[in-house]
């Protein structure tokens, strides 16, 4: 229900609108969708039937599984104008713990809930430090990024635990009911529905947008900012732990360095999906498109034998683009609205 013809303050008004709004998709998210289609076109024209085969779709999706799963709660965190960089370390820590507990004779049916709780606790620590002590989440989670990864090495050292029961590892590598959709990706789809409903169709979601756009205003209008933020960190921790479980099964290997560096890809996906790093803006569908974009692009480039270094550069550029893009499109819109021609030359007219 937001107004397209916004004024300068209008942006804030619009951003606190969290309802499903097709007009918001008509912004940065459109660019993401366009880029996604370009990536598919690129893959299809350069690698033809290889790229379009079902097996390849399967490898695109399964490569993105953990990134996609973690991107969901992280979207909520970033919309709330916070950040959690410890997600990949929580993933590593839970993988390591799985290996450790398995080595100590625990049943897998016990290990999974246990590590999910540990993940939630790891998130809770982030949440307490951010909401109770008022520390900036960037600093806190850089700290826990190192700390949780360190703990993972304490737990498992440099060994790898790989003798998990085959019914679990086969699940990790298998596909869903005869389709080419990998099982781990099904976990993502289910979670995506839940997160979509919470973020875009409930009061909690509206509160998250409100506090991301203007925390003070949200607090004065009765949103329990600290409580919601705390629980967002807890959920992010638990979901990261779930991604850790998926990762360990998918690779049939629990190691302390599982998922090292994954946080960058996750943040890239969320930002590329049009979620503002300053909070208050974003749409989960944009994030999902961005996730598919990153996966497709990487896959298509790899099929064309583009080297790993170039792939890293591409990911980095996408991240940069994702931060630059929305702000540039916003400025362009602004400029267009103020009247064409006035700002064509950036030089000031008067002094």
Regarding 260 and contact with other proteins (CB under 8 A), the answer is yes
Separation of alpha carbons 176 and 195, rounded Å:
21
Torsion of CA 134, 140, 141, 145, to 10 degrees: -160
Q: Does 48 bind other proteins (CB under 8 A)?
A: no
Residue 257 contacts other proteins per CB under 8 A: yes
Asked whether position 44 contacts other proteins by CB under 8 A, the answer is no
Q: What is the spatial distance between Cα 309 and Cα 68, in angstroms, rounded to a whole number?
A: 23
Site string for other proteins, 55-74 (x = CB under 8 A): xx--x---x-----------
Q: Which one among 109, 134, 349, 350 touches other proteins, defined by CB under 8 A?
A: 109
Q: Are 115 and 265 in contact (CB under 8 A)?
A: no
**What token pair was written down for 338?**
């103020």
Q: Is 261 in the site for other proteins (CB under 8 A)?
A: yes
Q: Is 46 in the site for other proteins (CB under 8 A)?
A: no
Are 239 and 123 in contact by the 8 Å Cβ rule? The answer is no
CB of 212 to other proteins, least distance (A): 33
| Among 216, 220, 309, 340, interactor with other proteins by CB under 8 A | 309
Per CB under 8 A, 253 contacts other proteins? yes
Shortest distance (Å) from residue 292 CB to other proteins: 15
Q: What DSSP string runs through 63-113?
A: HHHHHHHHHHHHHHHHHTT---TTHHHHHHHHHHHHHHHHHTT--HHHHHH
The span from the CA of 279 to the CA of 240, in Å, is 21
| 167 lies in the binding site for other proteins (CB under 8 A) | yes
Is 9 a binding residue for other proteins by CB under 8 A? The answer is: no
In angstroms, give the least distance from the CB of 195 to other proteins: 25
Query: What is the closest distance, in whole angstroms, from the C-beta atom of residue 164 to other proteins in the complex?
Result: 8
Residues 6+ apart with CB under 8 A from 285: 25, 29, 196
In the complex, least distance from residue 108 CB atom to other proteins, rounded to whole angstroms: 5
Question: In the structure encoding, which two tokens stand for residue 9, read together?
Answer: 């303050």
Among 137, 258, 265, 296, indicate the residue that binds other proteins (CB under 8 A). 258
Residues 174 to 193: which contact other proteins by CB under 8 A? none
Q: Which of these ranges, 79-87, 138-146, 164-172, 326-334, lies near other proteins under the rule CB under 8 A?
A: 164-172
Distance CA 341, CA 64 (A): 44
Question: What does the block give as tokens for 63?
Answer: 């490569």
Nearest Cα neighbor of 77 from 232, 219, 218 is 232
Task: List residues binding other proteins (CB under 8 A).
Answer: 50-51, 53, 55-56, 59, 63, 102-109, 158-160, 162-163, 165-167, 169, 172-173, 247, 250-253, 255, 257-261, 298-299, 302-303, 305, 307-309, 312
């Amino acid at each position: 229900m937001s107004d397209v013809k916004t004024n300068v303050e209008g942006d804030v008004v619009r951003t606190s609108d969290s309802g499903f709004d097709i007009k918001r998709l008509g912004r940065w998210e459109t660019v993401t969708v366009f880029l996604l289609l370009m990536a598919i076109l690129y893959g299809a024209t350069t690698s033809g039937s290889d790229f379009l085969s079902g097996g390849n779709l399967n490898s695109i999706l399964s490569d993105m599984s953990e990134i996609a799963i973690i991107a969901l709660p992280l979207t909520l965190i970033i919309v709330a104008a916070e950040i959690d960089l410890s997600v990949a370390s929580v993933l590593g820590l839970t993988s390591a713990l799985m290996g450790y507990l398995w080595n100590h004779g625990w049943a897998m049916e016990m290990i999974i809930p246990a590590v999910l709780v540990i993940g939630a606790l790891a998130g809770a620590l982030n949440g307490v430090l951010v909401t109770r002590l008022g520390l900036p989440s960037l600093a806190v989670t850089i700290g826990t990024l190192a700390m949780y990864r360190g703990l993972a090495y304490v737990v498992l050292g440099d060994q790898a635990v790989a003798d998990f029961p085959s019914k679990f590892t086969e699940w990790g590598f298998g596909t869903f009911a005869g389709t080419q959709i990998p099982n781990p990706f099904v976990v993502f789809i289910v979670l995506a529905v839940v997160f979509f409903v919470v973020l875009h169709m409930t009061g909690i979601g509206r509160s998250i947008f409100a506090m991301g756009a203007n925390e003070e205003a949200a607090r004065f209008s009765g949103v329990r900012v600290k409580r919601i933020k705390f629980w967002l960190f807890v959920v992010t921790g638990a979901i990261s732990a779930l991604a850790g479980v998926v990762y360990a099964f998918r690779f049939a290997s629990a190691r302390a360095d599982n998922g090292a560096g994954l946080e960058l890809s996750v943040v890239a996906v969320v930002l590329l999906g049009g979620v503002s790093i300053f909070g208050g803006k974003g749409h989960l569908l944009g994030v999902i498109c961005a996730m598919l974009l990153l996966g497709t692009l990487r896959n298509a480039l790899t099929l064309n034998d583009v080297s790993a270094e170039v792939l890293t550069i591409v990911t980095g550029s996408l991240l940069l683009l994702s931060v630059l893009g929305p702000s540039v499109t916003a400025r362009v819109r602004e400029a267009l609205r103020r009247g064409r021609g006035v700002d064509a030359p950036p030089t000031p007219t008067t002094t």
